[in-house]
A and B are shown apart, each in its own frame.
Chain A
Amino acid sequence: MAELRDLVKRKFGASVLDTHADFGDQTVVIAREGVIEVMRWLKEDPAMGFDFMMDLTAVDYLGKKPRDLRFEVVYHLYSLKHNHRIRVKAPVGEDDASLDSIVSLWKAADWFEREVWDLYGIVFKGHPNLKRILLYEEFVGHPLRKDYNIRQRQPLIGPEN
C-alpha cells in the first residue's frame, strides 16, 4: 500500500512542496494557498478519514531565507477509523503572515488558531473570532516570535520588572 504522503502528493502535486517520513512520521509540506483544499480532502475522503485534529501550532525559523519561509504552521491529524496519522506543514511568510482558517472543517481548531495568533501573530483568514486567548488584549506584539525582546516587559499591573 502506498504511503499517505505519496497519496497526498499524487492528488495535490502542485501544492505539495516536500514530503518525508522521518522516524516513521508521515509528513507533507504544502503551500499555504492549498491548505484548505488539502485539509478538506484529508477530512472528507473515506480512505483518509482524518476526523480528529490533534494539534495545531507554529514554529518561527527566524532568519530563514527567503523571508516568505520564516514561519511554519504545523497540523497533526489522526484518523480514529483507520488509526493513522499525518503531519501537515505550511510555510508562512514574514511580510504577509496569514493563511486560511480550518475552523470550518474542525471546530477544535478555533482555540488553537487563536493561540497561534496570540503568540506568533499569524492571521487565520476566515476565523470566526480571532482575538487573544492567553494574553490580555492590551498586550503589544507576539512574544513567542524569536525577535520579541526577552527583556521587554509590558505588565498589566505593577512596575516594569
Chain B
Amino acid sequence: MGVEVTERNIESALGDSVILTQVDKVIGWGRKYSFFLYPFITACCGMEFMSVAGPRYDLDRFGAALPRFSPRQADLLFVVGTISHKQAPILVKVYNQMAEPKWVFAYGACVCSGGMYNNYSTVQGIDTILPVDIYVPGCPPRPEMVYDGLIKLQELVQNERSSKWPRGKAQYEPKVKR
C-alpha cells in the first residue's frame, strides 16, 4: 500500500513547483476551449440563450457550442432563468450529478440575485445553494454580455490550480426528500 498518486498529493509534496504550474496551464488551456455545457433553462432568459447559441452570435467560436442534455456528460452548468424554491432541489441534483471539474454560469438577474422576484417562491440567487463561477446580470443579458462572461470564465479556467478540484457537492441539501 503506497501513497495514492494524485495531482493533489504531488502538489502538496512539492509545493508551487514550476513543473506542476506548467501542467495546470496546459490542462487549463485545453479545458477552456472545450466546455460541454448543460443548459438548465427555466424562463424567458432561454429566448436570449437561443440567440447566444444560434448562428448569429455563434457560441461555437469559443469552443462551447455542444450542449449535453445529460449532466453526467457536461462540465459547464448554464443556469438560465428564475429558480423557484420548488425547482431548487432539481437544480442541486443536476449539479451534484455533473462530473468534476465543473463550473456554474449564472445567466440573468434572477439567477444572480432573484432579480425582481423578492417573494415567497423565488430563490434569492443560486449562490445560496451551490457555488457560482460567473455572474451575468441583465433581464435578459445581451449576447455580448454573455460572451464577456464566457471569456472571463475562460480566463478563470486558464489560471486555475488543480488543487481546486474536486469541489464536492453543493452546499445545500433539500430539507424535504422526495
Contacts and interface: CB of A to CB of B under 8 A. Distances in A.
Interface of A: 135-136, 138, 143, 148, 150, 152-159, 161
Query: Which range contains the number of B residues in contact with the other chain?
Result: 20 to 34
Contacts of A148: 120
Nearest to A148: B120
Contacts, number: 50
Contact of A152 (B86, B120, B123): B120
Listed from nearest, the 6 A-B pairs whose CB atoms lie closest are: A161-B124, A157-B88, A155-B85, A143-B120, A158-B129, A157-B174
B89 A154 contact: no
B175 to A, nearest CB: 6
B12 interface: no
A157 B129 contact: yes
Given A157-B175, A159-B128, A159-B172, 4 more contacts: A135-B121, A156-B89, A157-B176, A161-B123
A44 B172 CA distance: 54
B175 A156 contact: yes
Given A135-B86, A143-B120, A156 B176 contact: yes
Contact of B86 (A143, A150, A156): A156
Contacts of B173: 157
Nearest to B89: A157
Contact of B88 (A138, A153, A154, A156): A156
Interface in B18-55: none
A154 B172 contact: no
19 contacts: A135-B121, A136-B176, A138-B176, A150-B120, A155-B85, A155-B88, A155-B123, A156-B86, A156-B176, A157-B85, A157-B88, A157-B89, A157-B129, A157-B173, A158-B123, A158-B172, A159-B128, A159-B172, A161-B124
